[in-house]
Amino acid sequence: MEYRIDSLDRDLLTALREDSRRPYLEIARELGVSGGTIHQRMAKLKEAGIVTGSRLIIDYGRLGYDVTALVGIRLRRAGHSAAVRARLLEIPEITEMSYTTGTYSLLAKVVARNMRDLYELLSGRLQSFPEIQSTETFVILDTAVRRDPPLVAVGDGPRGG
pTM of the model: 0.78
Domain ranges across the chain:
7-47, 60-139
Decide if 7-47 and 60-139 have a common fold.
no
Beta bridge partners of 83: none
Three-class DSSP category at 31: helix
Could you give the count of Cα atoms lying within 13 Å of 80 in the half-sphere of its Cβ? 15
* pLDDT 10s digits, 132-154: 999 999 999 999 998 888 988 87
CATH number of 60-139: 3.30.70.920
Average pLDDT over residues 85-92: 95
The whole-chain average pLDDT of the chain stands at: 92
Q: Are 42 and 24 in contact (CB under 8 A)?
A: yes
What integer pLDDT is reported at residue 54 of this predicted model?
A: 87
For residue 161, is pLDDT > 60?
Answer: no
Fold annotation for 7-47: Arc Repressor Mutant, subunit A (1.10.10)
DSSP letters, 74-95, are: EES-GGGHHHHHHHHTT-TTEE
pLDDT classification of 1: cutoffs 50, 70, 90: low
What integer pLDDT is reported at residue 6 of this predicted model?
A: 95
Strands 132-139 and 94-99, bridge-based pairing: unpaired
pLDDT classification of 85: cutoffs 50, 70, 90: very high
For residue 46, give Cα distances in angstroms to 3, 11, 42, 67, 88. 11, 16, 6, 35, 30
Is residue 36 classed exposed, middle or buried when 0-12, 13-18 and 19+ CB atoms within 10 A define those classes? Answer: exposed
